[in-house]
Amino acid sequence: MRVLGVDPGLTRCGIGVVEGTAGRPLTMVAVGVVRTRTETDTPERLVQIERGLEEWLEAHRPEAVAVERVFSQHNVRTVMGTAQASAVAMLCAARRGLPVALHTPSEVKAAVTGSGRAEKAQVGAMVTRLLRLEAPPKPADAADALALAICHIWRAPAHHRLQQAHQTQRAQQAPAAQRLKGMRR
């Protein structure tokens, strides 16, 4: 499985592509950051992020996109920019018919380091180790994007099994509901 991880941000949007399957060694395909200038108007910055993401999607052809779920911070302005960049990532993936998964920061930290309260340095160190890199990717946004992709690869099989179980349960309940509906008439 090839996953594009996106650590959304209006100034720095981390992007990383990881390939592999759960239980096997993973490989970093590419890592980087889409940057925008703070003095540029927000709509133009979002267009720049969209162009950057489209280039990555075209170049690396992922099978899924994992985006950091936006969480509430005290700085509303920062949250808005992060949410807008996140929406652009989801839009780009949806336009290509790619599945999108949202992972919380603590979920990603727990998956990669074993602790949902890990510091950025710990995440970078574990990404370096897991992908057998010589040094942690810089800036931290790039390492976070790789961590998102790793988290998704490791959690995708369990998520898929849960979805299948849910669909099976709904399919089994449908005939019973139809019979019950028929008995009421």
> Residue 183 has what pLDDT?
66
Q: What is the pLDDT of residues 145-155, one digit of tens each?
A: 999 999 999 98
Q: Which of 140, 124, 14, 136 is nearest to 67 (CA)?
A: 14
Low-confidence spans in the chain with pLDDT less than 70: 73, 157-166, 176-185
- Confirm or deny that 141 is annotated as ligand binding: yes
As a CATH number, domain 2-184 is 3.30.420.10
Catalytic residue among 68, 107, 119, 144: 68
> Residue 158 has what pLDDT?
67
**And the tokens for 111?**
């998956």
Catalytic residue among 7, 44, 55, 119: 7
Peptide bond between residue 139 and the one before it cis (omega within 30 degrees of 0) = yes
> Residue 156 has what pLDDT?
78
Full-model pTM:
0.86
Catalytic annotation present for 141: yes
Say how far residue 74 (Cα) sits from the centre of its chain.
23
Three-state secondary structure string covering the chain: CEEEEEECCCCEEEEEEEECCCCCCCEEEEEEEEECCCCCCHHHHHHHHHHHHHHHHHHHCCCEEEEECCCCCCCHHHHHHHHHHHHHHHHHHHHCCCCEEEECHHHHHHHHHCCCCCCHHHHHHHHHHHCCCCCCCCCHHHHHHHHHHHHHHHHHHHHHHHHHHHHHHHHHHHHHHHHHHHHHC
Cβ-defined contacts of 79-86 (< 8 Å, 24+): 81/9, 81/10, 81/11, 81/42, 82/8, 82/9, 82/10, 83/8, 84/10, 84/42, 84/46, 85/8, 85/9, 85/10, 85/13, 85/46, 85/49, 86/6, 86/8
- Confirm or deny that 68 is annotated as ligand binding: yes
> Residue 166 has what pLDDT?
63
> Residue 97 has what pLDDT?
97
The ranges assigned to domains in the chain are 2-184
Q: List residues bridging with 103 in a β-sheet.
A: 68
